[in-house]
Structure 1
Amino acid sequence: MIKTDQYVEHIKQHAVRFANTADLEPLIKAAANAKYVLLGEASHGTSEFYTTRAEITKKLIEEHGFSFVAVEGDWPACFEANRYIKGNAPEYSNAAEALHSFHRWPAWMWANEEVTRLVEWLRAFNRNQNKQVGFYGMDVYSLWESMEAVVQYLEKINSPAVDKAKKAFECFEPFHRQPEQYGISAAFYGESCMSEVMDLLETIQQNRKTYDNNPESSLNMQVNALVASNAEAYYHAMVTNGNESWNIRDRHMVEALDYIGTYYGPESKGVIWEHNTHIGDARATDMAQEGMVNVGQLTREKYGQDQVYAIGFGTHRGTVIAAGKWGEAMEVMPVPKAMPGSWEDVVHQAGEFNKYMMFTPENQELFQETIGHRAIGVVYHPEMERFGNYVPSRLSERYDAFIHIDETSALSPYVF
């Protein structure tokens, strides 16, 4: 059990109060030295997490030369937003129309007013730039949509690899776009499409230089092929080994990030938006005991500790968009006051206002005790949260900095 009073005093000494983006300038400058800035969130349905991340992102792009934004979203839907941002999607008259590409549940994560404002800002920013800032999805779920995109691209350029793509796509057709059906068939009945999709991915990688007439279209096709391959493995593992499916997903997101970074060049810098459970180093939580890794850990290992700056987010209380079960309608739910003794509770006790902390060699050891840190997913039961919504964490090892917004409100999603 932590010594709450002592922790509160440490927070009072090292936290900085903030009311607007200008107050976050020291944090933004520190983050800007990294190649990748990882911006977390304690839930997928909190407005202030999105708006604060958006303001930080704008500063990193406008003042520090960051090249792209990559988010915890599906590649095909995000690529439609990317096309709009770069002025390559005349079929969309505004950002909201482009964001209607997010059909897979939970669409509210990206089809919302908060993201719309960022997308419009990115489009306006790009009008005066030679190097266009991009917006991409890193997630692994879009198996069928990604396969369709690969087939369409290979058909468009008359590639001989189109037959392999169609063969792989046809292998998945009997499962009627139901990943659970495919996972059960692959895991228990040996009805796997692994060889077909791996053969396609290998062919595309071998022939990647032949797709250089339109580099970003080539990137789109290559990452869609990567999604198809890793999604097959993800759904295969999901049925029998939840921890391994998690690892496949987070390794995929780092692999996708590497593709994007390679496309933008060795000097490029990116902003990543994902849940705290992805961007906060897994080695500083109980995930490590379960053999699980995540984006925060993998990027630090791949690019170096000084090239990754992870910022966690949290709140003491408020409201949030979530659902009672997977696939059900979204609703506004209460976020109860943080559990006594949790990280959110002690930060709140240090002052009922918004604040941030930067963890440095001088103060890191003060915040290395394992404390519960709230995590809310797309499925949420407020009345039960003390039994499963707090991740034991050593905060100063999990993140480079932490932003606390004392009272938060629900996201503003589109309904369609």
Structure 2
Amino acid sequence: MVTFQLARRGIAMPAVLDAMKQVPREEFIPEDLHEFAYEDSPLPIAEEQTISQPYIVARMIELAGLERSDKVLEVGAGSGYAAAVMGKIANQVYAIERHKALAEAAKTAIEKIGYGNVHIIHGDGTKGLPGEAPFDAIIVSAGGDLPPALKEQVAVGGRIIIPLAVNGHQMLTEIRRLDADQYEITDHEAVRFVPLVPEEDRPGHVTQGRRTPTAGRPGHMPPDLSGIMAAAAEPFESYGDLARMAERFADRKVVCLGESTHGTSEFYAARAAITERLVRDHGFNIVAVEADWPDAAIYDKAIRQSAEGRRHAEEPFTRFPRWMWRNEETWAMLRKLREINRGRDPQHQAGFYGLDVYSLCASIEAVLDYLGEHDREAAETAKERYGCLTPYCSEPGSYARMRIGNGFRGCEDKVVSVLTDLLTQRVENGEALFDAEQNARIVAEAEKYYRNLYYGDADSWNLRDSHMFDTLERLLEHRGPDAKAVVWAHNSHIGDASKTEMGWVREEHNIGQLVREKYGQDCALIGFSTHEGEVAAADDWDGPMKIKTVRPALENAHEDHAFRTDIGRFFLDLESLDGDHRQMLSEPKLQRAIGVIYRPETERASHYFRANLAEQFDAWVWFAVTKAVDAKSATPREGEDETWPFGV
């Protein structure tokens, strides 16, 4: 965490890095979240509050410029974690928390780890702590306006670090007191904290005989946000209706179709209907999906030529998670694509392609098979070079451990040289060579991907999505100047990451962002979401598929507002929203993301991130209630092996 999430992102003050190394973050979060303790993200604690992400804690403390002799005040102690970190640097730390239960829990955690110079106080932090003032530094761990009492309680020469409210957003701000009446203000980066609420503005507080109204306060659900969605929503009954609505984007070169889970039937069926319409009527000849290239190639061969009498060397998509592409919804689409392709010339037939980087060993085999048919000497050379990777085929993730002894360095050069040879010594042209080159690229990229897993930061994610984008670019070039592509991937891949917490906080990009940066108005990003129902997912990686109940969306999440429209299914064209409505739907809110693993017990930490809906997507498709994909037929029925998945 300290090396790759803090130092790499610019935290340079040695005292801060040392303190972050020493304080056990798991002591300040619920036990069921301990596995997420050192991820660079906020986590939920009691009283609907959060513990800030480690980077923000370090950033605020570094801006405060703490020294060993300092006395520090924190407003909004929360879990007590930031106060503990400051306690490893400063002489005395006083942290005020307005929630009594949180204050007591923080005090217990501080006492457990034995930090006697950190004092947790239950009270109203907006009033400061005049009995201990002046303070060399004041850190406010909640967003809003600067309370006047804090300006008076910071020492001359001291600093206040606070997320100030600026035009509806929060800006991390440094306020240095120059003398009794002068302050120097410096703005830093945009942030998002829970609101700073003075005692008189809290629910239930009585002022001059009347109760303070709750509507309009930070954190309260705007009463008309679901109304804005309802007014702009285009309800649909059938998937055919939805496909007609999506045709407004048929003039684009790339249309990306997302999903908020990897195991929802409605998402597959809806994307299939849109894809079939774009392929049949609008010249789209590439269907590129979040899947392994060698496995998708088997589906591709089945839809672009007759599968009758042709035997497959192996069944596709047999590794975890099998249900993503071995389900009835996918097979129904493949059958329709095959029908559309019949009678078309090869250039205008739609192909089915995998974009992902996981197929390390299957791609090695594909390269060796190709070279074995065309250049036996080159095949032997490639086999020798790939020898440094083949021992890790059963567990590619273990390749990252070679980083400890730099054992990967020679392997990296060897696997790249196989691709270089293919590119410079072309023995033929056409589909076979293109396929072999792509598999060689995957081996080279997979080597980097598994090596970067060691770091545990944004590098591996960015490498994977860059690879998916590069693959899409090569497909568009390969299929000719008139090529058009439909992309299927999770919302977290096809929604513009720069408009979400992925980009704001974790410095991650994705294929949707890269597509938008390259194609601008010539692309469309369409997200898909749901409120509740069932999903096919596992408890852990490589675990068995289960049909799991999807909990109702968290309050004030995008999905919660959509559910409150009382419209079961709708298409929301975000591009066509007027200025005021677009601005309201641009307010960052929680958004759910369920991958192949679903852990309802840690719903907030595991499956939500903040996003600007109106700018993340060009359109959004909503299903209030959904069911799991039909993956019962994960293997062909007896007698279907030769023609699977088209056996009847």
User: Is the pair's TM-score, using the shorter chain for normalization, greater than 0.5?
Assistant: yes
Aligned to 1:287: 502
Aligned to 2:583: 365
Richer in helix (by share):
1
Amino acid at match of 2:588: T
Aligned to 1:298: 514
Deviations 1:147-200 (A, max 9, x none): 110011011112653233212221212334311221211x11222110101111
2: CA distance between counterparts of 1:355 and 1:402? 8
Q: 1:58 aligned to 2:276?
A: yes
Structure 1 stretches of 4+ with a deviation exceeding 6 A read none
Determine which of 363, 366, 373 is the counterpart of 1:156: 373
For structure 1, the 5+ residue unaligned runs are none
Deviations 1:185-225 (A, max 9, x none): 1x1122211010111112222234x321xx11112111101
Residues 357 and 122 of structure 1: CA distance in aligned 2, closer, same or farther (over 3 Å): same
Q: 1:127 aligned to 2:342?
A: yes
Secondary structure of the residue aligned to 1:4 is coil
TM-score by length of 2: 0.61
Deviations 1:208-254 (A, max 9, x none): 4x321xx1111211110111010000000012233100001000001
Amino acid at match of 1:315: T
Deviations 1:356-401 (A, max 9, x none): 1001254333311101111001111123212331120101111000
Aligned to 1:106: 321
Determine which of 385, 406, 409 is the counterpart of 1:190: 406
2: CA distance between counterparts of 1:232 and 1:319? 36
Secondary structure of the residue aligned to 1:262 is helix
Please show how residues 4-403 of structure 1 align to structure 2 within 5 Å: 4-25=222-243, 27-87=245-305, 89-90=307-308, 92=310, 100-130=315-345, 131-158=348-375, 160-185=377-402, 187-192=403-408, 193-208=411-426, 210-212=427-429, 215-288=430-503, 289-302=505-518, 304-360=519-575, 362-363=577-578, 364-403=582-621
Residues 308 and 159 of structure 1: CA distance in aligned 2, closer, same or farther (over 3 Å): farther
Are the aligned partners of 2:264 and 2:534 in contact in 1 as well (CA < 8 Å)?
Answer: yes
Are the aligned partners of 1:139 and 1:253 in contact in 2 as well (CA < 8 Å)?
Answer: yes
Are the aligned partners of 1:72 and 1:138 in contact in 2 as well (CA < 8 Å)?
Answer: yes
Are the aligned partners of 2:235 and 2:567 in contact in 1 as well (CA < 8 Å)?
Answer: no
Residues 204 and 299 of structure 1: CA distance in aligned 2, closer, same or farther (over 3 Å): same
Residues 126 and 34 of structure 1: CA distance in aligned 2, closer, same or farther (over 3 Å): same
Q: Give the Å deviation of 1:85.
A: 0.8
Residues 380 and 25 of structure 1: CA distance in aligned 2, closer, same or farther (over 3 Å): closer
Amino acid at match of 1:56: I
1: CA distance between counterparts of 2:588 and 2:254? 26
Number of aligned positions between the proteins? 408
1: CA distance between counterparts of 2:325 and 2:315? 9
Amino acid at match of 1:21: Y
Are the aligned partners of 2:242 and 2:270 in contact in 1 as well (CA < 8 Å)?
Answer: no
TM-score by length of 1: 0.94
Are the aligned partners of 1:84 and 1:92 in contact in 2 as well (CA < 8 Å)?
Answer: no
Bigger radius of gyration among the two: 2
Amino acid at match of 1:365: Q
Residues 99 and 254 of structure 1: CA distance in aligned 2, closer, same or farther (over 3 Å): farther
Amino acid at match of 1:169: Y
Q: 1:412 aligned to 2:623?
A: no
Amino acid at match of 2:273: E
Deviates more, 1:199-208 or 1:376-385: 199-208
Secondary structure of the residue aligned to 2:572 is strand
Deviations 1:277-336 (A, max 9, x none): 00000001011121110000011112x211210100000110000000110111000001
Q: Give me the identity figure in percent.
A: 35
Secondary structure of the residue aligned to 1:407 is strand
Deviations 1:244-275 (A, max 9, x none): 00001000001111121111112110100000
Are the aligned partners of 2:230 and 2:567 in contact in 1 as well (CA < 8 Å)?
Answer: no
Amino acid at match of 2:481: P
Are the aligned partners of 1:69 and 1:271 in contact in 2 as well (CA < 8 Å)?
Answer: yes
Secondary structure of the residue aligned to 1:313 is strand
Deviations 1:38-95 (A, max 9, x none): 00000000000000000000000111110020100000000001011112644558xx
For structure 2, the 5+ residue unaligned runs are 1-218, 636-648
Deviates more, 1:102-111 or 1:157-166: 157-166
Residues 98 and 358 of structure 1: CA distance in aligned 2, closer, same or farther (over 3 Å): farther
Are the aligned partners of 2:265 and 2:329 in contact in 1 as well (CA < 8 Å)?
Answer: yes
Amino acid at match of 2:250: A
2: CA distance between counterparts of 1:31 and 1:128? 26
Secondary structure of the residue aligned to 1:248 is helix
Deviates more, 1:169-178 or 1:403-412: 169-178
2: CA distance between counterparts of 1:190 and 1:409? 47
Residues 274 and 91 of structure 1: CA distance in aligned 2, closer, same or farther (over 3 Å): farther
Q: Give the Å deviation of 1:3.
A: 3.9
2: CA distance between counterparts of 1:9 and 1:383? 31
Are the aligned partners of 1:100 and 1:111 in contact in 2 as well (CA < 8 Å)?
Answer: no
Amino acid at match of 2:406: G
Secondary structure of the residue aligned to 2:224 is helix
1: CA distance between counterparts of 2:307 and 2:406? 42
